Structure 1
Amino acid sequence: MKNINNINNRDFTNKRLIGKLLPWQVTGLTDGEGGFICSISHTGKGLTGYSVKLEFKVTQKTHSEGILHELKEYFGCGNVVIDNRSTDTMKFQVKSIKDILEKVIPHFVEYPCLTSKFLNFRDWKEIATIISKKEHLTNEGLDKIKNISSFMNSKRPFEDKYNHCKSFLGFSVLADGKYNINYNLPPHWVQAFLDGESSFYTYVSDKTENIIVNSSLEIGQNSHDIFILLALKKFFNGGYIKPKYKYEDILECLNSRLVNRFILRETETIINFVENYPLLTRKHLDYLDWKKIVELKKTKQHLNAEGLDLIKLIRSGLNSNRDSK
């Protein structure tokens, strides 16, 4: 039987027997893989002829289903169900309006999302309040909900998401031209956010006389959330953002790549953080293999054919390739 508590030999499809999710970990998971959903469907029944339903969800691949059961345990409600068979994903969901009002909303009021998902939560919370007053059963209330939901998630303007993160995280340009973020990311939020949004990469080139092996941690976000990447740069006191442009200029941000990336090559910084804040999903196995590559390079084993072949073999099983091995 597998030891589901030993982080180096865990079955991530099961929740941990020892250890409970902490509040900022829950928010970090949500910022990475969560959503606040409002669906309006025509039923032909009642005064309005429409039904309004809310859902809070967090998704994971089936190989990391255990963290979803930990979310169910944390909130004391909801269910873990199949999300999408074609993508092999499961989800933790809460649909009960009573649980949403009494358990989900209070959590995110105290531990708010740090990405632009905060705006979806804010609007979702307003809709929940309308439903709690049964105003959604009237045409006036339904119209109000339709208007609010018409700006949620992918329908929200780029400018709104950009400006919220810029303001909330306290972005400014200093006199010397350097960028500043006032907000200090909570370590447990970073820990869980890495589970959803990070990748452990190693670049290998042996086509020249100089063999190159560079390992990094990379985190991608839509450009409207550029400021969370700058906050991560501050948190790790290193790394860089790609592409580089004037982040204070919304037009440059809008015209940059759809996905901006924070890239951290300081491997000791990465290792020190993850050793103190182990990843909660199967992505931790990617970290462990990535760390092996870092250690092989540190002992200069990449400079001989056998060591380089081993690095390439380990790299071939990282991230999305792990499932195909």
Structure 2
Amino acid sequence: MNLNAQWIVGFVDGEGCFHIEMNPQPSMKMKCQILCSFVITQHIRDIQLLHAIKDYFGCGVVRRDKENIYCYRVRSFQHLRTIIIPFFEKHELKTKKHVDFLKFRKVILMMEKKLHLEKEGFERIQQIVLAGRKSNSKEFHENSGLDNKVDVSEERK
């Protein structure tokens, strides 16, 4: 299967997810582990698409998620930083998923600078994660009056 960048952008706009997870880890400095992943989930009948996307990016894994559901997942910080983020910087998403990507990128860049290991940076990441959860709810969209802008000014320092 021969995929191109714009096809992948459209597919990710509809089916992709930029996920930031915060797991309690008492042994860690901030008592929490931050895990970032790029995920696309599909029914088993379309598993060949997931393998084609994996081949396109040259990283990640395709694994069974549930009974007939499989996902393509990239969790490696290095692959997220050097492959996935540059791809979506060059080939911009067209939907609200672009805002999700900007938040995801902001967290990755903060982690690259080790800001997540300090209280202020960790709390900023928590705010980004909580805002993302709220922004995906219908109630948030109806009552917030926000325009989905993300402050990315400090990312490139």
State the TM-score, normalizing by the size of structure 1.
0.42
Look up the match of 2:28.
46
CA contact (8 A) 1:83 1:90 kept: yes
1:78 aligns with 2:72: no
- Tell me what 1:128 maps to: 108
1:34 and 2:54 equivalent? no
Render the CA deviation track for 1:225-264: whole Å, top value 9, x for unaligned. Answer: xxxxxxxxxxxxxxxxxxxxxxxxxxxxxxxxxxxxxxxx
Tell me by how many angstroms 1:151 deviates.
1.2
Q: Could you tell me which amino acid in structure 2 is paired with residue 145 of structure 1?
A: I
Q: Deviations over 1:14-57 (max 9, x none)?
A: xx3xxx21001111111111100000011101221110000101
Cα distance, 1:130 vs structure 2: 0.9
Check 1:45–1:109 CA distance in 2 against 1; reply closer, same or farther (3 A cut). Answer: same
| Local SS of the residue matching 1:112 | coil
Secondary structure of 1:113's partner? coil
Q: Which residue of 2 aligns with 1:22?
A: 4
Equivalent-residue separation in structure 2 for 1:164 and 1:126 (angstroms): 15
Superposition deviation, residue 116 in structure 1:
0.6
Confirm or deny: 8 A CA contact 1:116 1:161 kept in the other structure: no
Q: Which residue of 1 aligns with 2:141?
A: 158
> How many angstroms does 1:82 deviate by?
1.2
1:107 aligns with 2:87: yes
Cα distance in structure 2, aligned partners of 1:78 and 1:161: 37
Q: Which letter maps to 1:116? A: K
Amino acid of the structure 2 residue aligned with 1:158: H
* Alignment-mate amino acid for residue 63 of structure 1: R
Does the Cα contact within 8 Å between 1:119 and 1:161 map onto a contact in 2?
A: no
Distance 1:76 1:161 in 2: 40
Choose from 122, 125, 143 the match for 1:142: 122
Number of residue equivalences: 144
2:153 maps to which residue? none
Q: How many angstroms does 1:72 deviate by?
A: 0.6
Q: What are the residue-to-residue correspondences of 1:242-257 with 2, within 5 Å? A: none
Change (3 A) 1:162 1:28: farther
Percent same amino acid at aligned positions? 26
1:295-316 deviation digits (Å, cap 9, x = unpaired): xxxxxxxxxxxxxxxxxxxxxx
Q: Find the aligned partners of 1:134 and 1:112 in 2 and give their Cα distance.
A: 26
Structure 2: state its 5+ residue gaps. Answer: 150-157
CA distance, structure 1, for counterparts of residue 98 and residue 87 of structure 2: 12
- 1:145-191: CA deviation from partner (whole Å, max 9, x where unpaired): 00111111x421426798459xxxxxxxxxxxxxxxxxxxxxxxxxx
CA distance in structure 1 between the aligned counterparts of 2:94 and 2:23, rounded to whole angstroms: 30
Paired residues for 1:1-325 under 5 Å: 16=1, 20-85=2-67, 88-152=68-132, 154-156=133-135, 157-158=140-141, 163=147
Q: How much does 1:84 deviate?
A: 2.2
Q: Which structure has the higher relative contact order (CA within 8 Å, separation 6+)?
A: 2
Which has the higher Rg, Structure 1 or Structure 2? 1
